[in-house]
């Protein structure tokens, strides 16, 4: 059994590993794996500027190749809390309605 005073330390270590995994998955556009990680751990990704830039790149790629269904943009927003930029929505107006 783990002593109670060690639980915050262990939780921080696990959260750090999960955040590192999110960074890796988003960097490789592996959104479905990131969604599964969220379901398994209950930990949401932290959105710093670097992560937000990765998310915008995933949106950009997803919108540009929408015929291939690479990622569900609405699920990406639900997971990360990050919407596509105004610039992307202007460039790809067919997706703008879903994000209003």
pLDDT of residue 2: 65
Find, among 97, 93, 79, 91, the residue nearest to 39 by Cα.
Answer: 79
**Range list of H helices, 2-48:** 7-27, 31-41
If phi > 0 it is left, if psi is from -120 to 50 it is alpha, else beta; for residue 27 that is: alpha
Domain-by-domain residue ranges, the chain?
9-99
At residue 55, the pLDDT reads: 94
- Give residue 96's pLDDT: 82
**What are the average pLDDT values for consecutive 10-residue runs of the chain, which has 100 residues?**
73 87 92 92 92 93 76 87 93 83
| Cβ-proximal residues to 94 (8 Å cutoff; 6+ apart), any chain | 66
pLDDT of residue 89: 92
Amino acid 67: pLDDT: 65
Q: What's the pLDDT score for residue 48?
A: 93
Q: What is the pLDDT of residue 11?
A: 77
The pTM assigned to this predicted structure is 0.79
């Amino acid at each position: 059994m783990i002593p109670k005073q060690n639980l915050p330390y262990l939780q921080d270590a696990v959260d750090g590993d999960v955040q590192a995994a999110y960074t890796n998955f988003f960097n490789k556009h592996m959104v479905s794996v990131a969604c599964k990680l969220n379901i398994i751990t209950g930990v949401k990704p932290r959105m710093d500027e670097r992560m937000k830039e990765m998310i915008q790149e995933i949106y950009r790629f997803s919108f540009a190749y929408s015929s291939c269904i690479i990622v569900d943009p609405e699920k990406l927003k639900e997971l990360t809390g990050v919407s596509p930029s105004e610039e992307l929505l202007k460039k790809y107006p067919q997706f703008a309605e879903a994000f209003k």
